[in-house]
Structure 1
């Protein structure tokens, strides 16, 4: 049985499944094993309720400089994502790997299936194409304005 790392692991640095002995709040214990893609440290998962356990891999969002009336321009993460699974959940959407997407800070789209996540990606991509059109119109407007 391998021990949990003290620092977050990256997918490339995980060579063998990480396992640990977990004490269950109601009594007993269980050997837990991370999926290969899990980068969570599980530092605080040595004991507790079964359904408290999650495996996941977080992906940082793009940071955009956004105006804030109190602080001026501040970096705001957008489109951050996390692959997640709650292995002991009775909700099949949670007990199967899924994506939690944060379109912008503190707003979450939960339990997206691969098809649902693909649909969101397609919407964002289409919107970026529209933004390219707006950009071209802005360049033209500025050239004509001079």
Structure 2
């Protein structure tokens, strides 16, 4: 099978890599770029463990082929913490103990960030609906929802200051 040369911007940085035509973007991120935060939980887009942002849209990277990344802007969990500090969502997940085994956490964080980027003041119902595509078998969702709501309030306060 022939390889495709792909140029994209990942977490703000220009990258180039080769990928098989049928390779998923999840596999390319993990195997070609060493970005192992996104996880393969189901391979069918049902669990959200592989959630990333592509051109500011939430995507299950297990459903996107690597060649489709050509020229796109991709954000992964590795790009969330900037300037040496955790993103407020990451801090709030820790403060609220909104994780246990951690397998689903990167996908939940990326999805939560996508929500807050689109809607900085979501209701609890909107937050639960938005994160419904991310499955967690360990924590339950109450701590996750509280962490997202708390981070949203902190981010709104920081933007209004």
TM-score, normalised via structure 2 length: 0.26
TM-score, normalised via structure 1 length: 0.28
With CA pairs under 8 Å and 6+ residues apart, which has the higher RCO, 1 or 2?
2
**Higher percent of residues as helix:** 2
Q: Which has the larger radius of gyration?
A: 1
